[in-house]
């Protein structure tokens, strides 16, 4: 691949999702990513299913986080394999790992040892709850982190119904923050000539996206709770039922509220400001759903669009991937897998332009089979 990072070599010692998502992001940008996996079994996610596809079977979970990578199997407890890894480190720009604290040190591969060999190396290290502190050694799994970091308390139909987000958002956010930290460290290295260590965690990543819910507590002393599909600070903003389903609207300003009332011939007292509407949320929901009750969803969305009210439907994933807007943004890529043939994968979320010409990398490689590139990498290092 070509791209903004096509001169960067990444050694990926991570598994599961947070680290692999970070390295996939770097691979999407053109970096050469060499994924080091345990012999015989590989990344944990190779066994996470069903669904599995093909024969030998491949996990769709693994396929989601490992495009644009090469795979080599190494036993890090074996002297010869550990020596080969160190030769990779000598050439690398970035190393990514998400072992529990202390594991690499016990293998003789601690950060200090790695950076003694290669002072330009940038190391990204991802843990569950941080590398230090009273609970720094805890293992990190996404749903546990979503609960511990407060996200589940904000998600669900109400305070007594905590729910996890439907994707492993803590893992994904940690990977995203990690990749962003790596890019900052590479930029710093261009000035100093020396690499650095970037650390993040699932806890840090989730707290990092508390946004207004965080300051709602730290500044105002209010503890946010789950309240279903309606925004805690803006009304009406959420999901509302209509004649044959539901639509979502976001009335985020007083001007939009006025246009909304005009479009649906609403004349209600005591709801002219957002503060009044938030304080009387139940009444707002009743007013809006009464106005929508006789409207079919498609006609309602058209009417909202004419009035300039931000609105949308709730799509299933098959509808999202069939949507022409999704395809227009490069969010589907086709790759050739060595055993599964042609695959369509969700694509990278970034696009690049030089002036008016798009320079987004368009060629992508399929997630590798286990040790697919082992012989080639060993020959390259010899």
Per-residue pLDDT of the chain (382 residues; tens, 9 = 90+): 679 999 999 999 999 999 999 999 999 999 999 999 999 999 999 999 999 999 989 999 999 999 999 999 999 999 999 999 999 999 999 999 999 888 889 988 998 899 999 999 999 999 999 999 999 988 889 999 999 999 999 999 999 999 999 999 999 999 999 999 999 999 999 999 999 999 999 999 999 999 999 999 999 999 999 999 999 999 999 999 999 999 999 999 999 999 999 999 998 899 999 999 999 999 999 999 999 999 999 999 999 999 999 999 999 999 999 999 999 999 999 999 999 999 999 999 999 999 999 999 889 999 999 999 999 999 999 8
Report CA torsion sign: 111, 48, 42, 318: negative
Task: Give me the pLDDT at residue 191, please.
Answer: 97
Could you give the residue ranges of the DSSP H alpha helices within the chain?
Answer: 18-28, 60-63, 79-91, 103-106, 111-117, 142-148, 169-192, 202-207, 212-218, 254-263, 274-279, 281-292, 297-307, 317-322, 324-328, 374-381
Cis preceding linkage at 50, omega within 30: yes
Please tell me the distance from the alpha carbon of residue 69 to that of residue 25, in angstroms, as a whole number. 10
Question: Which among 161, 139, 152, 208 has a CA at the least distance from the CA of 180?
Answer: 208
Residue 171 among the catalytic residues:
yes
Please tell me the distance from the alpha carbon of residue 367 to that of residue 69, in angstroms, as a whole number. 6
Write out the two tokens for 99.
Answer: 């072992």
Other C-beta atoms closer than 10 Å to the C-beta of 208 total 16
Strand-pair partners of 12: 35, 96
Contact 203, 18 (CB under 8 A): no
Helix (H, G, I), strand (E, B) or coil at 226: coil
Please tell me the distance from the alpha carbon of residue 278 to that of residue 345, in angstroms, as a whole number. 41
Helix (H, G, I), strand (E, B) or coil at 45: helix
Strand-pair partners of 335: 343
Write out the two tokens for 111.
Answer: 């950060």
Task: Give me the pLDDT at residue 28, please.
Answer: 96
Residue of 171, 294, 324, 371 marked catalytic: 171
Q: Which residues contact 214 (CB under 8 A, 6 or more apart)?
A: 207
Other C-beta atoms closer than 10 Å to the C-beta of 270 total 10
Helix (H, G, I), strand (E, B) or coil at 245: strand
Catalogue all structural domains in the chain, each as residue range(s) with its CATH number.
Answer: 9-209+335-381 (3.40.50.10540), 237-317 (3.30.1540.10)
Task: Give me the pLDDT at residue 101, please.
Answer: 87
Please tell me the distance from the alpha carbon of residue 278 to that of residue 270, in angstroms, as a whole number. 11
Task: Give me the pLDDT at residue 1, please.
Answer: 63
Please tell me the distance from the alpha carbon of residue 204 to that of residue 131, in angstroms, as a whole number. 11
Torsion of CA 373, 332, 96, 339, to 10 degrees: -20
Helix (H, G, I), strand (E, B) or coil at 10: strand
């Amino acid at each position: 691949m070509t791209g903004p990072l096509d001169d960067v070599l990444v050694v990926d010692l991570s598994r599961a999702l947070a680290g692999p998502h970070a390295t996939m992001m770097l691979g999407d940008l053109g970096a050469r990513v060499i994924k080091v996996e345990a012999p015989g079994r590989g990344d944990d996610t190779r066994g996470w299913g069903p669904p599995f596809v093909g024969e030998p079977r491949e996990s769709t979970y693994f396929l989601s986080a490992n495009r644009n990578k090469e795979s080599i199997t190494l036993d890090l407890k074996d002297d010869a394999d550990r020596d080969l890894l160190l030769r990779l480190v000598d050439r690398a720009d970035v190393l990514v790992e998400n072992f529990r604290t202390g594991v690499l040190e016990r293998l003789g591969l601690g950060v200090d040892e790695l950076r003694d060999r290669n002072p330009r190396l940038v190391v990204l290290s991802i843990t569950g709850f941080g590398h230090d502190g009273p609970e720094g050694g805890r293992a990190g799994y996404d749903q546990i982190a979503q609960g511990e970091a407060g996200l589940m308390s904000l998600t669900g139909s109400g305070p007594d119904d905590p729910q996890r987000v439907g994707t492993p958002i803590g893992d994904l956010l940690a990977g995203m923050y990690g990749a962003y930290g790596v890019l900052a460290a590479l930029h710093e290295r261009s000035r100093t000539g020396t690499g650095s260590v970037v650390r993040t965690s699932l806890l840090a990543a989730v707290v990092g996206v508390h946004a207004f819910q965080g300051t709602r507590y730290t500044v105002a002393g209010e503890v946010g709770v789950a309240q279903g599909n309606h925004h805690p600070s803006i009304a009406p903003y959420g999901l509302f039922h209509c004649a044959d389903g539901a639509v979502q609207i976001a009335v985020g300003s007083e001007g939009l509220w006025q246009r909304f009332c005009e479009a649906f011939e609403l004349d209600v007292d005591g709801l002219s400001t957002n503060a009044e509407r938030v304080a009387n949320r139940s009444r707002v929901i009743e007013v809006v759903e009464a106005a929508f009750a006789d409207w079919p969803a498609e006609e309602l969305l058209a009417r909202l669009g004419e009035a300039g009210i931000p609105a949308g439907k709730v799509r299933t994933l098959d509808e999202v991937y069939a949507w022409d807007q999704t395809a227009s943004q490069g969010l589907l890529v086709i790759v050739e897998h060595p055993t599964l043939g042609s695959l369509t994968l969700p694509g990278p979320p970034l696009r690049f332009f030089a002036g008016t010409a798009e320079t987004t990398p368009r060629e992508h490689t399929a997630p590798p089979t286990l040790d697919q590139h082992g012989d080639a990498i060993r020959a390259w290092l010899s």
